[in-house]
Structure 1
């Protein structure tokens, strides 16, 4: 017993009598004892403990609740705050990469992750080109509202997490309240510092990561393009309306009248995410009585998951939509197209629609970070062999087809060579330049025509880099009951400041004689003051 008493007194000090509490909670030697001896040190220790608990609570609360979902234009976005040594903002665009903005100071970092496109909002943009301008204005308000909700949510979660943690650690109402107050002050001060040092001009000087490293080289000066697109979209609003009058022009052409049983095919290519192209396609499908739409690829720009929602407008056409993948389209893009109820994705395969047998194969490359180039130019031998190889694969498929193939589809015209003599017509895109030519004829084989389409999406943002935007183009092909090409209409819409719609009719075959007819068409045009197209009268000889 004496030994125990001496041990207890030596632990608590000579003048510290043993109490019931002391017996229940033995004192620790050393530093804790000194704190109890010195009230000042004890207060400092408690303050440090409260501060530590508050900081841990703030960090934990920020990670737990510092995120909100919000709509930014047609996108669904996730905003989140994280503690960081320096401020700034990261805009994640999976899987393309990220934009890093030096947007603000302070120990908090904002992350904006763009998710999938909202189908309803996307369709609204497509239906009304003017809504693009409204969406760009509302996007700023969407971001501001989302950030405000994020700040309030982060503040609430930080204080709540701190109060819970302090209650568990201290089991003292006063100390818990102090910890909550410190958490409130730290969080509010940090958010206030970020708001007070915000730099709106940081959006003009982003740092790119991932595939987006190539974005400045591809897109060019974003501010100039934005200004050009505003002017361009204003023109397109008038131009798209004028397309509805093209049908009147077509019916007035005296040289060629589609006979009963004619199959009308609309060839589009290289949409590159331009929503205006969908409205133009829908108008032509309705006004020209299109039976089948053929798309030779590059419907998207990067082939990413958010872009997959862009193909939702295919179902609105209510017509068979035959598609092959371009070099800007990923397998994910092709899968999204295949999910549309009226879509047919060809990949070294054939399909028959309205008596037309169509064979097609996707581009062997996936190079979303590359610009277009003339067919076959700038290709390494390995890539050239790959591009030509898919043409050889499709040629073998065409030769094995139980039904004679009327149309073969490739994305790059460089793939068309091996198809010479296997079918009468090959359609392609890729170069953003319309061109019609004959493939080298093989001995004993029928000639094959190669028709390269321009860009139905005006090359997307790339089309705004020049002094004049790339026009939107598509072609209506007319096939007779024997599924032979009789004529085609080249439709071109666009040209900033020119407000013109061109329709050029080409008669390939004289229905009365069954022979080839050379044609020199006159385009329909509308000037800046009178954009309505007038009749075109192709002139034939022979």
Structure 2
């Protein structure tokens, strides 16, 4: 019996040891409320933070997918008339359209708002189709009519392709980042909404009238040859389409014949005036003037002074280029021009020098007066202290003198000329337009209105000569500036083209058209203060002479 008892005891001990060993390997069951204090609170706080992190991650992935998808898939090839063109969409802070016409340059249009920019690049030209178009005028008409539909279809395909690329790229990117189907679906949906919303914003803010005020770069400085005269430009989509037809037809002929851009005949009664100023002995300015006079069919050139730098006798030879223009050249003296300079200009067969006098040229009555100062040793840049009182009074007297001449003119004066815009104040209400120079900074503003009198616009020209040698003193050369003004048969300003050429050593050309709506243009806010009379200060400050 004792042996059996011992065996049973040994068996029970062995079972107990096995049970204890098994318990060591089993996880302990945590009782409700057991554990360290505060553990549940931290878990509760981590929940919202984790959800916020996931939301931000989804947003970042969706936006990255939108950008990458747009850059990767936002392009299509399409035929526009005889051209093989490529349409591209790129993310941008403000919309707009760029039409690249290599190697001529580009047209920049403020066509729409929204975070996408449309680029249209006219590429290869099918020579066979182009020759057929030019040989058969009816074919040109048919191709021009189909060009608008080509563009519309291409833009529609571009939008659909971009949205599809954005969604696909976002889904792939989200799956690689999250490895979670629900988060991937949220990312794709968000990307779809962003892409569709951006394109929808662009579509809802389309401005067909943007074709009225294009900006041109490169060799397209002869832009009116493509777009046509200001009053031919449209305010609705139908006429916008007509301009596109002209663009296709004319550029097709240009590529085929490899000749100069064809020039449209001006509207009956349209007068084109080229405004130049502050040549400062730069011979490059004459080359540019001759080119613009020929290509824009300019009727008369107006020069608001500072054609020379020192007004010396040797500089008189510089004005000999006026005769080569073979167009009426109306001139007033600037503060860098001497009496010798004015006399040398007057000797040119096509020149008219105004000094408190009027003339009628190409149907326009023009009044002008020379600058009352002769200060060739002064800086061209405006002084920080502004005009001192004696100089301001001198300029005001000058303005009042020409204003009285304008009032007494037997014919209504269309344009008044002063060199320094500070002299323009007294001319307010006497005529619709005043042209000036001197500051080397192109500006357009409205003079303070006189009750009961017409509004008077002041257009200040930059330096057509790039400020001469002084234009090289800054970090960048001063650009060469001039403006072509379009007057209708009733002698009203209808539009103007601001032409800017990169300064000495630069070749970039920019042309920007402004259309004047109705009798009152919409210029920028006044930027040139009209000085008032005042006593002479005890400590004179330098005057801003140019």
TM-score using structure 2 length: 0.48
